[in-house]
Amino acid sequence: CLAIKNGSLWAWGRNLSYQLGDGTFFQRNVPTLIGSDTNWAVVSAGGMHSMGLKKDGTLWAWGSNASGQLGDGTNINRTVPTQIGTATNWKIISAGNAHNMAIKTDGSLWAWGQGSSGRLGLGSSTHQSSPVQVGALTDWQTVSTSYASCLATKTDGSLWAWGEADEGQTGLGLLTGTSSPAQVGSAVTWSEVTSGSYHSAGIQT
């Protein structure tokens, strides 16, 4: 688990892949302060890795990196929070099992990590070890990742999905996945979505 308290980062639970970010692989049974930085704004816990945004818009990641899910261009595990690139305009992050999605302040959508089942939305199943923009549109509003699929909304209130669909989790009415974002229905009243391992949920206005 991850949490932010007055800008400080706290973590607890299993730590075999360094996903807590305290520099060790020891399990923590109570919330444990990670470092001394008090500039954390957002955190997201993945399967065996973690991501965070600081107040200055920078992106950080740590833990397992077998599929390039940390986004630093390598497959090297990181034991403490490590800055990813130099961009300072990250706004929304969502960590999946071994992949990530994010939105920048300009509304562009980005993906990296494990690409199987088309979960990155890039039209292929190729792994990506650095953030890659999904298409060229800049009207993305929210995004949520799960084990192998993703949901997102656009500023016009439309709902989009991609990735694995063998349990119907994309909502597209299919049990076969899609490797590129596809609109779910025609409603433009979606305000919030969230993805579980094999199911999804959302709120309409």
Tokens of 27: 């399990």
Q: What is the pLDDT of residue 104?
A: 98
pTM score of the predicted model: 0.96
- Cβ(50)–Cβ(61) under 8 Å? yes
The average confidence (pLDDT) of the chain is 97
- Separation of alpha carbons 73 and 192, rounded Å: 31
List the chain pLDDT tens, one digit each, 205 residues: 999 999 999 999 999 999 999 999 999 999 999 999 999 999 999 999 999 999 999 999 999 999 999 999 999 999 999 999 999 999 999 999 999 999 999 999 999 999 999 999 999 999 999 999 999 999 999 999 999 999 999 999 999 999 999 999 999 998 999 999 999 999 999 999 999 889 999 999 9
Rg (CA), the chain: 16
Q: What is the pLDDT of residue 77?
A: 98
Helices (H) and strands (E) in the chain, counts: 0, 17
Could you give the C-alpha distances from 40 to 4, 37, 43, 82, 99, in angstroms and in order?
7, 7, 8, 13, 21
Q: What is the pLDDT of residue 162?
A: 97
Q: Is 154 exposed, middle or buried (0-12, 13-18, 19+ CB in 10 A)?
A: buried
- Separation of alpha carbons 8 and 75, rounded Å: 27
pLDDT digits over 160-187, tens only?
999 999 999 999 998 999 999 999 999 9
Nearest alpha-carbon partner for 106 in 57, 160, 175: 57
Q: What is the pLDDT of residue 161?
A: 97
Q: What is the pLDDT of residue 195?
A: 92
Nearest alpha-carbon partner for 179 in 139, 134, 137, 142: 134
Q: What is the pLDDT of residue 113?
A: 98
